[in-house]
Amino acid sequence: MDIDRLADYIEQLCREHKMVQHSDGERHFVNLNDDKRNMGLAQELRYPAVYFESTDFVLRVASDQIVRDYTCHMEVFEHVSDTGDYGEIERALSSAERILTDIFARMMHDRTRRAQDLKWLLRMASPTAIKVVPLQNEHNALYGYMAEFTVPLPGCTKESINNFKITDNG
């Protein structure tokens, strides 16, 4: 499992979600780590929009294994027509909160119900707490939330060891 597979999975959830309805013709999702597909995206992105990115990772050593714990962010934004209409802003925030919650609920559901299709999701630790903060971009009339969560990717020890030439100093 890698971060690209997680991004593809979240993109698929955005295609299936009734409020987001992401498609190739109506873009509502963007993987910010994929520079090739993001060219000119600002002009074609529709709202509500879901942004995903992995920003950094921590190497965690556990007995004889190294695990990469990736820090990921998922942002959900809604566009409002009037930044002075606090009722519209509250509706946008409520919608963004619902979408974000729905995506994480579906991920947890899929971990237990669709294990055959998504074996890699089982290896991902179930987050016990997901930090969510409100976001606003008044200049662009965008309001929403950002969730920060960690995705542990075990199993990099063997592939890392195989990247060395073995010399016999014996």
The residue ranking higher by pLDDT, 68 or 15, is 15
Q: Residue 123: inside a domain, yes or no?
A: yes
How far is 99 from 95, CA to CA, in rounded Å? 6
- What's the pTM value of the predicted model, to 2 decimals? 0.83
pLDDT bucket at 57, cuts 50 / 70 / 90: confident
What is the model's pLDDT at position 133? Answer: 97
Give me the mean pLDDT over the 43-55 stretch. Answer: 91
pLDDT given at position 114: 63
144 domain-assigned: yes
The closest of 71, 33, 52, 69 to 155, measured between CA atoms, is 69
165 located within any domain: no
Q: What mean pLDDT comes out for the span 73-81?
A: 96
């409020």: which residue's tokens?
Answer: 19
Question: What would the DSSP string read from start to end of 64-115?
Answer: TEEEEEEEEEEEEEEE-S-TT-HHHHHHHHHHHHHHHHHHHHHHHHHHHH-T
CATH code of residue 84: 3.30.2000
Q: Six-digit token pair at 63?
A: 């007995």
**Overall average pLDDT of the 88-105 stretch:** 96
For the stretch 138-168, pLDDT in tens is 999 999 999 998 887 766 556 666 677 777 6
Look at residue 168 and tell me if it is in a domain.
no
Which pLDDT value is given to residue 138?
92
For residue 73, tell me if it sits in a domain.
yes
Query: What end-to-end distance do the CA atoms of the chain give, in Å?
Result: 38
Query: What is the distance between the alpha carbons of residues 12 and 37, in angstroms, rounded to a whole number?
Result: 16
The residue ranking higher by pLDDT, 74 or 109, is 74
- Does a structural domain hold residue 37? yes
Average the pLDDT over each of 10-24, 63-77, 120-134 and give the range with the smallest value. Answer: 120-134
Q: Within a domain: residue 169?
A: no
| Residue 43 belongs to a domain | yes
Domain that holds residue 87: 3-160
Instruction: Report the number of distinct structural domains present in the chain.
Output: 1
